[in-house]
Every structure is written in C-alpha cells, then in structure tokens.
A and B are shown apart, each in its own frame.
Chain A
Amino acid sequence: MELEDLKDIWKQHTAVFPRKNEAEIAAMLKGTSRSIVAKLKRSVWFELIFTLIAGIAMVIYGMTLPSGAMKWMSISIPVIFIAYAVYYIKKLILLSRFNPLEGNIRSSIETLINDLSAYLRFYRRSYTVLYPVYFALGILFGLLEKGTVDIIGILSKPKTILMLSIVAVIFYLTSTWVVNWMLKKLYGNHLDKLKSLLHDIHQKNSE
C-alpha cells in the first residue's frame, strides 16, 4: 500500500465535525489556558503571593514580640523569602516572554524540558538547602528562647548530637519524599512524556 493509496482513503471522506460557530470560537479566546506553561505560570504566581503574604505576616508577628529569639526568627525567615520572591518574579518574566509552541516540535519539546527541569531542580535544591536551615534555626532559636547560654556545650554532647542527627535525617527524608512526590504528581509524568518524545525525534534524526 503506497502513500498515495492512503491519501485516497483519507480524501474520500469529508469529516463532519461538531462545527463551532463564530460566537463559540470568540468565547474560547477568553478561556483559561491549560498548557503546561500556563500551569507553571499559575503555580509561580501562587507561590509568589503565598511567599509575600507569609513573609509580611511573619514580620508583623515578629514586630509584636518582645526582643528575643522568637522575634529574630520571625524576622530572619522573611529575609530568605525575599530571595524566593526575586526568583519567582524573574521566572514569571521569562515565562511570559516565550511561547514555546511557536517553534518546531523538537525545539518546543527541548524548551519545555529545559524549563520544567530547571523549575523542578530549583525546587529540589531549595528544599534541600532550606529544610536544614529551618531546622538549625529552629533549634538555635528554641535554645535561645529557653534562655540557654551554653549552646555549644549542649550541642556538642554525643547524646544530643545523636538525637539531633536522627531527627534531622527523618525530617530530611520525609520532606524530600513529600517534595519529590508532589513534583512528580504535578509535572513528573509530563516531563517523562516530553523526554520520551524528544528521544523519539533524536532517533528519527539519526536514522
């Protein structure tokens, strides 16, 4: 069976689709996009707003506290949030600028893979760095709050080190698992699909 035969079969029929009228098409232009880029943008917006609200709330709460460990903790964490907010804004600008679907299929897939991978990498790395920071800050400020003076003395006891290490490992493993599970659920399957498509295109190119 030649390609021309297949074309003949294809052409013999005029598909009658549920035609959309002009009003329906015009209404579609005002709809919400469900593209992966739009989904990313919505996630970044949500995180930016959440980060800003949480940061402001912590600063306001910190201001109401008397001078002490808790006050400094409530103010120091929003400082970390500023770095996040800068990243989110930068990401939003980049996402708004490009439309990966305009290029050829291969370049679109490559762009999407790069962008999604960078996004996921950022998440994993930031959580890997941030959880130990929060954990250490929590212990430090907790001890300061209790009025402990000899912090180093307490922390250098073998029993304390062992206990803290176990808690840290459990905390790290649980949080990493939760983050990985969440990212896999949100974007992982789509990323795997994109990688397999790209692999298929590269195979075609090397044939």
Chain B
Amino acid sequence: MAAIDEHRFVNLINEHQGLIHKVCIMYENDPEVRNDLFQEIVLQLWRSFPTFRGEAKITTWMYRIALNTAISGFRKETRKIKTEDLREVHFNITEGSDDSEENLHRLQVAIRQLNEIDRAMIMMALEEVPYEEIAETIGISQNNVRVRMNRIREKLRKLMLERWS
C-alpha cells in the first residue's frame, strides 16, 4: 500500500514539477539553495499527502504547501550564497522572439522585487488560480486580494517600466 502511494506521489510530482520549480525560482537566487528548497517542498508534500482528501484542486494544495515552505518553513543554511541571474535559468520561448523573452525577464525580475506575500499572490494570479483560492491560501479576504492585486499590478508596471528605461 505504501509502495503504491509512493509511486502515485512520485508520478504526481513528476507531472506537476513545473509548479514547484516556478516557486523555487521566484524565491531563491542560489541554484544550490533552490535545489534544497525543491527537495524540502517535495518532502513537505509527501508528509501532507496522506491528509490530502481531494477537496481542493491538486494544484491548489501543491501551491499552498510549496509557498508555505518557501515563505515560512524553509530555513537556509548560513553559507556563502551564490546568486544567479534569471537569464541563466533556461527558458523555452514558445513564440520565440527577443522581445517576449525580454518581457518575461522583466516581469520575473519585477516579481522578485516584491515582498514575499505579494510574490505568492501574483504568482498564483498569473497561473490563473481563482481569487477565492488565493484568499484561502494566504488567509485574507477575497476583497483584500482584489485590492491588493491592483496595487501589485501597478507596482509591477512601474518596476517593469523602470527596467525598460
């Protein structure tokens, strides 16, 4: 039974690992720490897996644990942090043009300048997570999500323009 569960879980992570990678990239600069964070998220998901009853969407559950781990649960070791430019992370551009690559780069850099809670909110919004689920994941009201999202959007616009100019 445990082996079946483990197999099912590994398949699930394999299928949705993009989500975990995105969270790691948005919260950690150092590739090594990012890898540690990935492992930590997988471990926390595995620990919570027996209690996941399918009441929420699987991606909502994964976001909740992944963001919780990245924001509050993960404790970095004190060692020399090697920062990595986002450009070093390889991206496959589906409608490949230099402009779209630049836009994405600007957006990512801007998102990383937001505080950790705003970062979580905008990431979920960009991934089409409904406001109701964002509110539930963060622990604030839907109304506050709406208000806050407008401010984050405005902040991002300014940050992206600054980078442009």
CA distance A108 to B74 in the complex (A): 12
Give the interface residue-count category, chain A: 35 or more
Residues of B within 8 A of A64 (CB): none
Residues of B within 8 A of A112 (CB): 72-73
Residues of A within 8 A of B122 (CB): 6
Instruction: Say yes or no: B100 contacts A12, CB within 8 Å.
Output: yes
Residues of A within 8 A of B125 (CB): 3, 7
1/0 per residue, CB under 8 A from B, across A14-29: the answer is 1111011110011011
Residues of A within 8 A of B17 (CB): 17, 19-20, 25
Instruction: Say yes or no: B144 contacts A16, CB within 8 Å.
Output: no
With an 8 A cutoff between CB atoms, is B163 at the interface?
A: no
B91 to chain A minimum Cβ distance, whole angstroms, is 5
- Among B16-73, those with CB < 8 Å from A are 17-18, 21-22, 25, 36, 38-40, 42-44, 46-48, 51, 64-65, 67-69, 71-73
Instruction: Say yes or no: B140 contacts A204, CB within 8 Å.
Output: yes
CA distance A63 to B120 in the complex (A): 60
Per a CB cutoff under 8 Å, which of A7, A13, A201, A207 touches B91?
A: A13
CA distance A30 to B77 in the complex (A): 19
Instruction: Say yes or no: A35 contacts B73, CB within 8 Å.
Output: yes
Instruction: Say yes or no: B48 contacts A106, CB within 8 Å.
Output: no
With an 8 A cutoff between CB atoms, is A200 at the interface?
A: yes
With an 8 A cutoff between CB atoms, is A150 at the interface?
A: no
A93 to chain B minimum Cβ distance, whole angstroms, is 17
CA distance A16 to B116 in the complex (A): 23
Instruction: Say yes or no: A6 contacts B40, CB within 8 Å.
Output: no
Instruction: Say yes or no: B48 contacts A101, CB within 8 Å.
Output: yes
Instruction: Say yes or no: B14 contacts A9, CB within 8 Å.
Output: no
Instruction: Say yes or no: B65 contacts A101, CB within 8 Å.
Output: yes
Instruction: Say yes or no: A35 contacts B100, CB within 8 Å.
Output: no
Give the interface residue-count category, chain B: 35 or more
Per a CB cutoff under 8 Å, which of A35, A39, A201 touches B44?
A: A35
CA distance A20 to B21 in the complex (A): 10
Residues of B within 8 A of A12 (CB): 93-95, 100, 103-104
- Among B77-123, those with CB < 8 Å from A are 77, 89-95, 100-101, 103-104, 107, 115-117, 120, 122
Instruction: Say yes or no: A25 contacts B156, CB within 8 Å.
Output: no
With an 8 A cutoff between CB atoms, is A158 at the interface?
A: no
Instruction: Say yes or no: B92 contacts A15, CB within 8 Å.
Output: yes
CA distance A190 to B43 in the complex (A): 20
Instruction: Say yes or no: B71 contacts A7, CB within 8 Å.
Output: no
Instruction: Say yes or no: A105 contacts B139, CB within 8 Å.
Output: yes
The answer to whether A20 and B38 touch (CB under 8 A), given A10-B126, A13-B104, A15-B18, is: yes
Residues of A within 8 A of B43 (CB): 28-29, 31, 33, 35
CA distance A25 to B44 in the complex (A): 13
| 6 interchain residue pairs of minimum CB distance | A106-B139, A104-B139, A17-B21, A101-B68, A10-B126, A16-B92
The 30 sampled A-B contact pairs (Cβ below 8 Å) are: A1-B153, A1-B156, A1-B160, A3-B149, A3-B153, A6-B122, A7-B128, A10-B104, A10-B127, A13-B104, A15-B21, A15-B22, A15-B91, A16-B91, A16-B92, A17-B18, A20-B38, A25-B10, A29-B43, A33-B43, A33-B44, A35-B43, A101-B72, A102-B64, A102-B65, A105-B117, A108-B72, A108-B73, A109-B71, A200-B116
